[in-house]
Structure 1
Amino acid sequence: MNILSIIPIFGLILLQSFGSRGQKQSDAPIRYINNTFCKIPDLNQWEMKMFYEPKAYIPCETIPPLVKLEKDDEFYFLAVDTSAVQFYADSMDKISCVISNISRGINTQLPDQTMRESKPVPFDSTTRSEMIKDTVRVRCYIAEKPPRIVYENVFGAYVRYNIITRGRPLAKQPYNILMIALDSVSKYSFPKLLPKTFEYLNKINFKQLYGYTQLDNDALTNIIPILSGYSIKDAMKHFGTPLKTFFDTYEFLWHDYRKYGYATIFAEDFSNANTFNRQYKGFWSQPTDYYFRALSVASDLLNSTKLDNMPHCTGPENSAERILKLASNATGAFRNRPYFGLFWFNSFSHDDYNAPRRMDEKLKRFFQDIYPNLNKTIVFFFSDHGYDKDSITEQKYGAYESKSPFHFVYLPQIFEMSHKDLAHQFDKNRFTLVSPYDIFCTLEDILSLSGTNHFARKSKSCKHCRSLFKEISMKRNCKSIGVEEEWCICVVDEAKLRTPGNIAKDDNSKIHERSEAITTKSTAFYLFLYIFYYFLNHF
């Protein structure tokens, strides 16, 4: 072989060797978002390890429930589980059960804050009792003097009478919308606190929005833009302050979906921390077809226990699991009608950083259970904001933890096959800065793609925000998507990041960039010297 032919090969090897050394020596942070206008780091999930405390799931009961909910076609029934009687009484003859309907207190000044209950009616333990209302209470007694309650619970279901008079759906090729919201969980802590759920979501192709950001550290401030396209400030100016008026006048997009025949659903798991009721008047009229506010109020009145300073067991059930069942049942409840459902969870994440760890296995099973029913369902799984309590915000990366909610979206295969260009654009937009206003635009876009003549509304408070199915600039900044500076984690230089405790460290990115440039130049220089020396000694 000619010696001259070896020199270029050896030179390339040498160049690669020097280049790889430079890469190994680099400690540049990997970034979720990285452009001239915005840098958001992909931090190691263990940055906050000093706050991490593993917590285990604690069941509410060690015996099976006495009464179970059954579904037959589109009808729901309550029945005594005869196999469970042995845990409550010597025989079924000694147990008597009654059922009563639960609804909102419509004759009061604040219907959402109260409930009313119909006269209890006995039901035969040997047969099934059909549910004719969305929410019912069941009490079972031992025939003693006085009678002793051995079982009490509340149940929610999708009773068909709510929508049977609505007529046929107008959407010709509808996509269901399922929204699952967890309070106060960041994108950085999610893989650590919910590792099994995180792994399964990736397995079934849930897509993470790496640049999703919040507008404030309050749930309402972040959900109002998703549901209406308005900032909370603009919404109050346009529709009135919810401290003085009801939310009925707010133009929430579930009304848009309802116009085209969708069954609409809203449920939360903790009545005292309810998004629309904690500090506000709530709704005068029922806002959705299935509005489980009465279920939440009634369940919190059962014999309850707290864990991590939050409701844990309300009656014989875990507060969150009761609503997870509702969300799971929604995916199979509507045979001839699409649905729009929002399910909000506060009871295992709001007041304790590590509490979500207890529910990891339950959340994973929830997604495993619903996955076969998602062939025409688009899922939004997200948090309103990061965790901002304790002293987390005072840490080096505390502002990232407190201001970076997680957000996953699932697009069914039928959508990706029917709208390949849109799905491709969505994948690109996962790596840009995204705000709740963009989610509103996306939800409006989905309705227009569902075989309707719906004209997708744009956000009134963010003129540059767009559907994630449309082309979006990769060079967005916080101002362009309606995020105020106080809540912005999109920075050019990490050293400028301000945490509430004003603790921030210098970023190595510029040092790395200079180091990388020096390494490249040094590699070229040494390669030149080597070739020059080789020729000098051999020719």
Structure 2
Amino acid sequence: MTFGLGKQLRPCLRVVTFIVVFALLSLLYMVEQSLPRHFEHVATSIIEETNASENIDRLKRFLVWSSKCKIPDADPYQKSVMKLMKPAEPINCSNKAPLTYVVSVTNTSQYKLVIDTNLKNKYVTDQQTLSCCFSIITRDSLSSKPTYNKSADNLYTLGSCKHLENETILHPEVEFILVKCHSEQAIASGKNKRKEVYSNMHAVVPIKEEVKWKLETNKSSKHPRRLSVLLLGLDSISRLNMIRKMPKTVSYLTQTGWVELKGYNKVGDNTLPNLMALLTGYNMKEIKRSCWPSMDAKFDDCPFIWKNFSKQGYITIFTEDEPTISTFNYHKTGFVNPPTDYYLRPYLLAAEQHLTTKMKDSMAVCLGPVSTADHILHYVYNFLSTFKDALYFGLMWLNNFSHNNPNTPGAMDSRMVSFFKDLVQIGTLNSSMIVFLSDHGMRFGKIRETSSGWLEERLPFCYVWVPEWFRKENPAAYRNVIQNGNHLVSPFDLHLSLRNILDSNTEDSTPWNAMNTTSGCSSCMDLFSDTTEDRLCEDAGITPHWCTCYEYRSVPTDEKVVQKVAKFVVNEIHDYFKNRHPAVPTDLCATLQVHTIVGAKIKLPHDGEHVSYNDYLITFLTTPGKALFESTVRLWGHDSMELQGKISRLNSYYSQSRCIADSELKPFCFCVK
């Protein structure tokens, strides 16, 4: 039975065997065909894992690394940031070249104003005639009278418009000129049709009587070669945004031997405290106590370091654009007397009033047919050319293309490279210590709300140049500058570096040794000295709220202690209004309340550090108005709390706080009416 059944099943078994063998062969063929794809997939996975590993390694890299300070080297091209980045639109102020220009007269200290006759046909037709005149602009002579003191920095005089044929020699004391040109054409009624076709301004650098003694002093000095100083500032550009939006400038500076201060950390919220730390060595409490007691007070009595340089025979210059929101004038008095030998403010005030302005992001990027930046860069270049063989101290600060939009600096990338190349041509880099820097990164807006926005705000870019001869004569000092590029550095350290230059100029000093401290930071050190890499933020005059050295751990926003911290900050805002003098009427600004706690972090102690408190970094929204605030609060035990520095406003408040003029209260005001 069995053998008989086997015989009957043999055909079936052969069929099954054939099917199985065929299936196995087919499977082997399929596997063989899939091997390249399988290996390709594996290779791709390895690459992805390698990239992930590299990204992890990159996140582990630090700009500053020590037992007391670890500043992470964040990726400039994070996705959250790049979503906000757009190509910068060119700043095009006119389709026509400027009709007039100014040149120096050969072998004299005078200047000549010239109409470019080759361009006349661009402004008038053959049936029209061109008529031009020019006016002299001066700082208002009434500024010395007490009645005009509070507004002296906003006053200028515009002279009568004198006819300009083709060219004219300017009076030796002329600094600022307004040019206007009209087209004139006879019409049927016998009258002339007149239309303005061109207006522009020019700034020149005459040899003033008050600087001639400095030139003579420089010539007669037997002191060894001394450094001039040039501070070049671009407002609101973080180190990371400099890399993103001005890569040509970064590449040029890196390739030509500038030293980047990678750990340059701001010390205050906006421009004023950071510039005052650099220029005076004082923090804002000391400034208010010693020389600027109120918003209505003048800045003339503050100990700006340009005064010290001026006493040593340095010719001084200060220029800042956007005169309405400039550092010393935004809801402030400014200077009753010109702070430096050359001061561009009257020129810029007149330009904004008498020239056609082109606005971008609420900034005047064009004044007439020329960009605002070019007006200032030309002026600074002329100053440096005029005094290339003298000692000078200069401060240039530009706001118009960087203050409100993180994308716009890209439009000035190539222009800044050409400016630095121009400085090489006239020898500026052979005579000067140059600091090219910003005050802070973007303090508000969408970029501030990104994962790297906290770091960006606190870490502005900063590059330093010292001449080749200085490097050879002072190798140890230059070596320290390079080393300090990887250390925590603040504006107070830069101030002491300038003080060191001053001290090295005196006959009884030992050059390039740290002999100074500054009241704003008694433990700070200049760049020419060997600063310890194990610096705490307080060693550099940086308060905990602005310090980037610490690591943080996130904590749940619904924790009771976090809720208490948020309410404490809001109460501090209320107290700030109550204690402000003069007090703001209570019916102007709404009473704020905590709406939502967006995030909370607790600061982790350094290795081996023992503390009896906890620092909380908290971000929250208030109502009404949905203001986004950030603050660092120190908590002892369960109830004792103290603000660590200023309360930061992270989103825009311009439209919400128009009812008050106090710039320090504006971030906290939601106008009721």
TM-score (norm 1): 0.84
- Report the equivalent of 2:89: 56
Cα 1:37/1:138, change in 2 over 3 Å? same
Cα 1:385/1:98, change in 2 over 3 Å? same
Percent of aligned positions with the same letter in both sequences? 27
Deviation of 1:177 (Å):
1.1
- Aligned residue among 139, 155, 158 for 2:202: 155
The question of whether the paired residues in 2 share the 8 Å contact of 1:85 and 1:92 is answered with no
Distance between the aligned counterparts of 2:195 and 2:92, measured in 1? 24
- Aligned residue among 102, 105, 114 for 1:79: 114
- Report the equivalent of 2:71: 40
Deviation of 1:91 (Å):
6.3
Say yes or no: does 1:368 pair with 2:421.
Answer: yes
Helix, strand or coil at the partner of 1:271 = coil
Deviation of 1:330 (Å):
2.5
Q: How does 1:383-532 map to 2 (within 5 A)?
A: 383-450=438-505, 458-492=517-551, 502=599
Distance between the aligned counterparts of 1:235 and 1:79, measured in 2? 46
Distance between the aligned counterparts of 1:303 and 1:380, measured in 2? 33
Q: How does 1:278-357 map to 2 (within 5 A)?
A: 278-301=330-353, 302-357=355-410
The question of whether the paired residues in 1 share the 8 Å contact of 2:488 and 2:535 is answered with yes
- Report the equivalent of 1:95: 130
Distance between the aligned counterparts of 2:133 and 2:103, measured in 1? 17
Moved more, 46-55 or 100-109: 100-109
Helix, strand or coil at the partner of 2:60 = coil
Moved more, 65-74 or 139-148: 139-148
Cα 1:54/1:309, change in 2 over 3 Å? same
Helix, strand or coil at the partner of 2:333 = coil
Distance between the aligned counterparts of 1:369 and 1:60, measured in 2? 22
Q: How does 1:267-286 map to 2 (within 5 A)?
A: 267-286=319-338
- Report the equivalent of 1:10: none
Cα 1:396/1:93, change in 2 over 3 Å? closer
Distance between the aligned counterparts of 1:164 and 1:405, measured in 2? 34
Cα 1:350/1:335, change in 2 over 3 Å? closer
- Report the equivalent of 1:200: 252
Deviations 1:44-78 (A, max 9, x none): 11122122111131311111111012123543221
- Report the equivalent of 2:634: none
- Report the equivalent of 1:257: 309
Deviation of 1:423 (Å):
0.5
The question of whether the paired residues in 1 share the 8 Å contact of 2:243 and 2:250 is answered with yes
Moved more, 136-145 or 61-70: 136-145
- Aligned residue among 105, 114, 117 for 2:140: 105
Cα 1:311/1:419, change in 2 over 3 Å? same
- Report the equivalent of 1:166: 213
Distance between the aligned counterparts of 1:309 and 1:133, measured in 2? 32
Distance between the aligned counterparts of 2:320 and 2:54, measured in 1? 49
Deviation of 1:141 (Å):
2.2
Distance between the aligned counterparts of 1:421 and 1:329, measured in 2? 34
Helix, strand or coil at the partner of 2:393 = strand
TM-score (norm 2): 0.68
Helix, strand or coil at the partner of 2:599 = coil
Helix, strand or coil at the partner of 2:324 = helix
Cα 1:452/1:148, change in 2 over 3 Å? farther
The question of whether the paired residues in 2 share the 8 Å contact of 1:226 and 1:439 is answered with yes
Deviation of 1:430 (Å):
1.2
Deviation of 1:321 (Å):
1.4
The question of whether the paired residues in 1 share the 8 Å contact of 2:177 and 2:203 is answered with yes
Deviation of 1:448 (Å):
2.6
Helix, strand or coil at the partner of 2:300 = helix
Helix, strand or coil at the partner of 1:33 = strand
CA RMSD, Structure 1 to Structure 2 (Å): 2.8
Q: Which amino acid counterpart does residue 197 of structure 2 have in structure 1?
A: V
The question of whether the paired residues in 1 share the 8 Å contact of 2:114 and 2:166 is answered with yes
Helix, strand or coil at the partner of 1:422 = helix
Q: Which has the higher contact order (CA 8 A, sep 6+)?
A: 1
Cα 1:495/1:197, change in 2 over 3 Å? farther
Moved more, 90-99 or 199-208: 90-99
Cα 1:203/1:216, change in 2 over 3 Å? same
Distance between the aligned counterparts of 2:65 and 2:537, measured in 1? 14
Deviations 1:176-225 (A, max 9, x none): 21111111100111111101111111111111101111112210110011
Q: Which amino acid counterpart does residue 87 of structure 1 have in structure 2?
A: K
Cα 1:317/1:504, change in 2 over 3 Å? farther
Cα 1:25/1:123, change in 2 over 3 Å? closer
Helix, strand or coil at the partner of 1:112 = helix
Cα 1:490/1:446, change in 2 over 3 Å? same
Structure with max Cα Rg: 2
The question of whether the paired residues in 2 share the 8 Å contact of 1:85 and 1:91 is answered with no
